[in-house]
Chains A and B, each alone.
Chain A
Amino acid sequence: RKEVEQDPGPFNVPEGATVAFNCTYSNSASQSFFWYRQDCRKEPKLLMSVYSSGNEDGRFTAQLNRASQYISLLIRDSKLSDSATYLCVVNANTGGFKTIFGAGTRLFVKA
């Protein structure tokens, strides 16, 4: 089993749609969680950190369920500019840190 698993994608959605990405992690000692966005041929950029209480930034909402070891990202009212790869990232300190990236989920938003 991969340490961080994401929906394989790609997701193809029309503008204005709501889209949800899911991510699971296997290491219960994981300490911090993030969603990154990566555009084609660009570096990954932090989209948002993920907290157990859930957090929202405009059209983006992230949730963490530690009991289920599950992370989600919800994008409402999708824009063309949301088209990118979304990477789930988990940091775990298991006697030595590890930052683990999921394989990423590609999103295409179409007019």
Chain B
Amino acid sequence: DTEVTQTPKHLVMGMTNKKSLKCEQHMGHRAMYWYKQKAKKPPELMFVYSYEKLSINESVPSRFSPECPNSSLLNLHLHALQPEDSALYLCASSPQGPTRNTIYFGEGSWLTVV
């Protein structure tokens, strides 16, 4: 079983809603990530937090807002999403920076925007 836990597992939201995806890991990892995955496509990196600081933003639209309250938690705040944002959102972590470290994924949050 994965040691990266994500909630909720499924989320349906309207285009005017505000919701959040949550991620937690207790492996002492210092890097955490958000990925987006569409059907039959590989995961696409959205954000990287390293030592609780945002280190990478892959030109993600501002309707997605990440937050790292502490080294174990990572949130993704969602506001005014579009139907094309419907996807599997994967949280991941790695011991330190990702250059050599293995990335461990959570089970994902399935998001549907209606």
Contacts and interface: CB of A to CB of B under 8 A. Distances in A.
Interface of A: 31-32, 34, 41-46, 49, 87, 89, 91-93, 96-99, 101-104
A102 B57 CA distance: 20
Contacts, number: 53
Closest 6 CB pairs between A and B?
A101-B42, A43-B105, A93-B99, A32-B100, A97-B98, A97-B99
Contacts of A41: 88
Q: Is the interface of B mostly helix, strand, loop or mixed?
A: loop
B97 interface: yes
A64 to B, nearest CB: 13
Given A43-B107, A97-B97, A103-B42, A34 B102 contact: yes
A44 B104 CA distance: 8
| Majority DSSP secondary structure for residues of A touching B | strand
Residue of B43, B44, B97 with most partner-chain A CB within 10 A: B43
21 contacts: A31-B100, A32-B99, A32-B101, A41-B88, A42-B107, A43-B90, A43-B106, A43-B108, A44-B43, A44-B105, A46-B102, A46-B103, A46-B104, A96-B56, A97-B97, A97-B98, A97-B99, A99-B45, A99-B98, A101-B43, A102-B42
